[in-house]
Amino acid sequence: MHLSAFGEKFKTDSGIFSLMADLDEALNRNPDLLMLGGGNPGHIPEVEKALRTAMQDVLANERSFERAIGIYDSPVGDQNFLSALAPVLSRELGHPVGPENLALTNGSQNAFFYLFNIYGGRDSRGRHRPIVLPIVPEYIGYADSGIEPDLFVAIPPQVEQIDDLFFKYRLDLDALKKIETPGAICLSRPTNPSGNVLSPSELQSLAAWAKDRDVPLIVDCAYGLPFPGLVYEEHHAPFYEPGMILVFSLSKFGMPGTRTGIVLGPEETIQAMGRLNAVLNLACGSMGPAIACELLRKGLLLQLSTDVLRPHYAARRDRILTLIHEQRARGGLEALRLHLPEGAFFFWFECSGFGLSDRDLYDRLKKRGVIVVPGHHYFPGLKTPMPHRDSSLRVSYSQSEERVLAGISILLEELRRAGS
């Protein structure tokens, strides 16, 4: 069978496919594995109770249920949900947002496939216009989403060493200024995988750069503000200016199975999203928006994000840091480095001082029943060497505390063994 160039691209496993296969094995087929690799949110009783109640409210209202289960929505998504969400976003972001500025997709992964191929690739004059990733490491799911090859151009970060354990990736704005004819610029905030949170002033610099080149700044808010709100420093406020594109998700709030992505952007972008939905999906799923409408009606989408989700994951982060400090005090882990965990529910372990590659560590941990993600998957579009690329691991702490602490203890044992 002869495949197109696009078809050839998917004859071999992509990074995201392999990751999701490992996640499925750990969460569904082999529960003895310690899953510290995927992006699945934790099971938080208070959130799950609210979701169950919202679902019961939908079921109890015959009109709501019949509509959610039996009617195709508009190509841009459930208008009831978009109308309810628009004033919430207007208040939280400090700029007017109308339903005409919002579209739904079947998950934010779906949204990025649309956006990257709307703005990136060959333009009408035949020029290659890349999607610029202004700082890597960056989300694994972007890597294979371009129809055209070489869609991404990534800029290595500047590395700021904070103390003998923590470091932080910083924007290299001078390198960014050298990029010509971009199609768009995109980053996640908090960054998946490192937990980095760019400051409002850094985002302002990126927004000005994008505006000067008449391209959109796209910010992936899957873990960010205002929901699910997994940003742990108060000075990291939401950032939005008209002309930007923000992409939200209900997944990390606790609803990954509903596949509900939300795009905020200029009207022409929203119209393009709707046309693509109509061609590729006919319409988006309606059950996620129906449940989220109930949450919005009761004020729970933001309240649970602020009062439950953020404290839950922040406490988990702090408990793991206590474990790491205790283990380092025993010796043998002096070479361990961690990115400052400012948001999301990941740790980014940098392990070059132990003489093992990320692949070696992944294999050693998998043999001991621990699933993580090798760091080299998180550098789409990187053309220049970067020391951390082949020596880092992304470790999730979203699952049960007992299992997460057990998995990280095994990781620290393996590092100590490698360093001895």
**Tokens 């992505």 label which residue?**
261
Q: What is the pLDDT, as a whole number, of residue 387?
A: 85
| Structure tokens, 133 | 């990733």
| Whether residue 316 sits in one domain with residue 275 | no
| Whether residue 277 sits in one domain with residue 361 | no
State in Å, rounded, how far the first CA of the chain is from the last one.
52
CATH number of the domain that 267 lies in? Answer: 3.40.640.10
| Whether residue 53 sits in one domain with residue 193 | yes
| Whether residue 65 sits in one domain with residue 39 | no
Alpha helices in 95-167 (DSSP H): 108-119
Phi, psi of 219 (to 5 degrees): -120, 125
* Strands (E) located in 69-205: 102-105, 121-122, 128-129, 131-133, 152-154, 158-161, 166-170, 184-188
Last residue of a domain, one of 263, 298, 333: 298
* Strands (E) located in 162-216: 166-170, 184-188
Whole-number Å distance between alpha carbons of 9 and 19: 17
Last residue of a domain, one of 232, 263, 298: 298
CATH number of the domain that 310 lies in? Answer: 3.90.1150.10
| Whether residue 364 sits in one domain with residue 404 | yes
| Whether residue 123 sits in one domain with residue 24 | no
* Strands (E) located in 155-269: 158-161, 166-170, 184-188, 217-220, 245-249, 261-264
Whole-number Å distance between alpha carbons of 314 and 233: 10
Q: What is the DSSP letter of 158?
A: E
| Whether residue 66 sits in one domain with residue 20 | no
Domain count for the chain: 2
Whole-number Å distance between alpha carbons of 153 and 130: 6
**With the C-alpha atoms ordered 132, 137, 141, 147, is the resulting torsion angle positive or negative?**
positive
Determine whether 131 is exposed, middle or buried from the number of CB atoms within 10 Å of its CB (0-12, 13-18, 19+).
buried
Whole-number Å distance between alpha carbons of 411 and 149: 36
Query: What is the value of pTM for the model shown?
Result: 0.93
Whole-number Å distance between alpha carbons of 375 and 323: 22
Residue 297 sits at the vertex; the CA angle it makes with 272 and 44, to the nearest 5 degrees, is 90
Residue 267 sits at the vertex; the CA angle it makes with 237 and 147, to the nearest 5 degrees, is 90
| Whether residue 320 sits in one domain with residue 270 | no
Q: What is the pLDDT along the chain (420 residues), one digit of tens a residue?
A: 544 455 555 555 555 666 656 556 555 567 789 999 988 999 999 999 999 999 999 999 988 899 999 999 999 999 999 999 999 999 999 999 999 999 999 999 999 999 999 999 998 888 899 999 999 999 999 999 999 989 999 999 999 999 999 999 999 999 999 998 999 999 999 999 999 999 999 999 999 999 999 999 999 999 999 999 999 988 889 999 999 999 999 999 999 999 999 999 999 999 999 999 999 999 999 999 999 999 999 999 999 999 999 999 999 999 999 999 999 999 999 999 999 999 999 999 999 999 999 999 999 999 999 999 999 999 999 988 898 999 999 999 999 999 999 999 999 999 999 987
Last residue of a domain, one of 253, 269, 298: 298
Nearest CA to 186 out of 260, 255, 92, 265 is that of 265
Q: What is the DSSP letter of 321?
A: H
| Whether residue 182 sits in one domain with residue 294 | yes
| Whether residue 33 sits in one domain with residue 129 | no
| Whether residue 115 sits in one domain with residue 237 | yes
Q: What is the pLDDT, as a whole number, of residue 4?
A: 47
| Whether residue 140 sits in one domain with residue 35 | no
Range of the domain at 59: 48-298
**With the C-alpha atoms ordered 364, 366, 369, 374, is the resulting torsion angle positive or negative?**
positive
Residue 273 sits at the vertex; the CA angle it makes with 109 and 77, to the nearest 5 degrees, is 85
**Tokens 């910010």 label which residue?**
219
Nearest CA to 93 out of 312, 258, 207, 240 is that of 240
